[in-house]
Amino acid sequence: MSKYLAFLAGLPVLLLSLTVTAVAAVEKQLPVLAIEYPPYLMAVADDHGSSFSLLEKRLAGSGWQVEAVFLPAARAVVQMAAADRHWLLSFMPPAAGEADVQRIVLSDDGLKSGLFRRRQPAAFRWQTLQDLAGHSVVSIRTNRGSELAAAMEQAGLRLMVVNNIEQGISLLLSGRVDYLQALEATGYYYARQLDIDEQQLQFSETLLSRYPVAVYVNTRDARAAELIKDLQRPPNGR
């Protein structure tokens, strides 16, 4: 009987401990904004793409429960820019000059942006974009108005925009455009999805740009400091 009474006496403390643990678990849920950009960000993939795999690896053992939140590109931009900022972590970069956002690099082995063309025997490289003047290049619509799009047009390239990479690949292989601007892994991914032999495509040795794989933390959020600390900790440093 005394053991039973002791158990009852300690029950409120036990219940409080379990409640605190449950609340802490809820607070460690981590919705992450993303847009579809295979093979890096993929709503239908079990791991949601290679970028999410890097994020999961970086946060392993931290207690954060990553939840992928895929949005259409236009909606994601609006949500990132909203004054009330109801997000904590995003793979979408903020607008240039945006305050209260900290970038965390997950991998320096970055995303390679360049041009695809129909395969030719010669190496595909150039010294300046002006060397490609007079040729046509297709890019996805979300890149319209970017610094890269402006640079290509200023160099004398004729820019065409499409809704997706699949359309760009079809235009390229049909000979209707000379080049397709895309990330290397993304272009080859969609070629495989279209059952196209990758050998029909040639990615440029000269790159237009190279980006690290990074995430963006909303530092206005009360949980930001803890998250930044966990993201900056080496994967094997736990």
The CATH number for 128's domain is 3.40.190.10
Separation of alpha carbons 80 and 88, rounded Å: 10
Domain-embedded: residue 190: yes
Domain-embedded: residue 201: yes
Q: Take residue 170 and report the two structure tokens written for it.
A: 């079809």
My answer on whether 80 and 146 are in the same domain is no
Question: Could you tell me which residues are beta bridge partners of residue 179?
Answer: 137
My answer on whether 28 and 122 are in the same domain is no
Tell which wins on pLDDT, 20 or 129. 129
With DSSP H G I counted as helix, E B as strand and the rest as coil, what are the percentages for the chain, rounded to 5? 40, 25, 35
My answer on whether 100 and 10 are in the same domain is yes
My answer on whether 119 and 55 are in the same domain is no
Domain-embedded: residue 58: yes
Domain-embedded: residue 238: no
My answer on whether 52 and 125 are in the same domain is no
If you average pLDDT over residues 215-223, what whole number do you get?
95
Domain-embedded: residue 43: yes
What does pTM read for this prediction? 0.80
My answer on whether 132 and 221 are in the same domain is no
My answer on whether 68 and 132 are in the same domain is no
Q: Which helix (H) or strand (E) holds 221?
A: none
The pLDDT of residue 90: 95
Structural domain for 176, as ranges? 110-211
My answer on whether 128 and 85 are in the same domain is no
The sign of the CA dihedral 134, 135, 136, 140 is negative
Residue 34's alpha-carbon distances to 69, 95, 198, 213, in angstroms, are 6, 15, 27, 13
| Number of compact structural domains in the chain | 2
My answer on whether 146 and 103 are in the same domain is no
The pLDDT of residue 27: 57
Task: Look at residue 219 and tell me whether its pLDDT is greater than 50.
Answer: yes
Domain-embedded: residue 12: yes
Separation of alpha carbons 24 and 39, rounded Å: 33
Domain-embedded: residue 237: no
pLDDT tens digits along 72-105: 877 777 666 665 678 999 999 887 667 899 999 9
Separation of alpha carbons 69 and 90, rounded Å: 9
